[in-house]
């Protein structure tokens, strides 16, 4: 069920429910192993079926990766790593992110393993322990049982680091807003 909050109002959580660098590294390792096994199995099957047409392996492999990284992550089933580490992915309103947003988040992996390192470093310096991909996509990785602590206005602050400028949506915690204060009142301010 989607939140009835206005688009410029989001939720924030207690600092203890955001997942930091170590769990994210564990999630990356576990999901990589699961995907590696699935892709290896798919490769063996495609080689047995049509050994001369190995190029037919790529489209099913991309579909498999997308199915694992996008629809499964937003579903209640979650990925193996998300279940193992007890976490879920939410958007800034506290809802499961859309397929489009998660596909956008997945495309950051096209930049290679360098983005993974940058992502992990970013969550080590971010106040909410969110990776760069999550920040740019407007998603948060939180514990499975996390309940929003309050609501705040979504702003687009600028960040400059390592020679790059970033601007991404972020829920501002300092508004003093709580769930008892109507979101419409905050949106109108």
The domains of the chain are located at 9-188
Cα–Cα dist 58/42, whole Å? 10
Cα–Cα dist 169/154, whole Å? 6
Cα–Cα dist 161/140, whole Å? 21
Alpha carbons within 13 angstroms on the beta-carbon side of residue 63 total: 6
CA distances in angstroms from 42 to 29, 61, 71, 128, 169, listed in the order given? 20, 7, 19, 38, 38
pLDDT of residue 117: 82
pLDDT in single tens digits along all 189 residues of the chain: 555 666 789 999 998 999 988 999 999 999 999 999 999 998 888 888 877 766 666 888 899 999 999 999 999 999 999 999 999 999 999 999 999 999 999 998 877 777 778 888 888 888 888 888 898 899 999 999 999 999 999 998 888 877 778 888 889 875 444 444 444 444 444
Cα–Cα dist 115/151, whole Å? 30
């Amino acid at each position: 069920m989607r939140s009835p909050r206005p688009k410029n109002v989001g939720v924030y959580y207690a600092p203890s429910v955001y997942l930091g660098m170590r769990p994210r590294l564990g999630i990356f390792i576990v999901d990589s192993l699961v995907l590696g096994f699935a892709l290896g199995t798919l490769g063996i099957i495609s080689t047995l079926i049509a050994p001369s047409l190995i190029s037919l392996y790529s489209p099913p492999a991309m579909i498999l990766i997308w199915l694992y990284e996008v629809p499964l992550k937003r579903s209640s089933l979650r990925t193996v790593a998300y279940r193992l580490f007890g976490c879920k992915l939410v958007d800034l309103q506290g809802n499961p992110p859309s397929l489009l947003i998660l596909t956008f988040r997945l495309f950051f992996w096209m930049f290679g393993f360098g983005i993974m390192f940058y992502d992990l470093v970013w969550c080590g310096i971010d106040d909410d322990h969110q990776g760069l991909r999550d920040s740019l996509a407007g998603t948060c990785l939180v514990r499975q049982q996390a309940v929003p602590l309050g609501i705040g206005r979504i702003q687009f602050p600028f960040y400059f680091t390592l020679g790059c400028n970033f601007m991404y949506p972020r829920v501002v915690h300092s508004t003093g807003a709580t769930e008892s204060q109507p979101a419409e009142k905050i949106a109108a301010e």
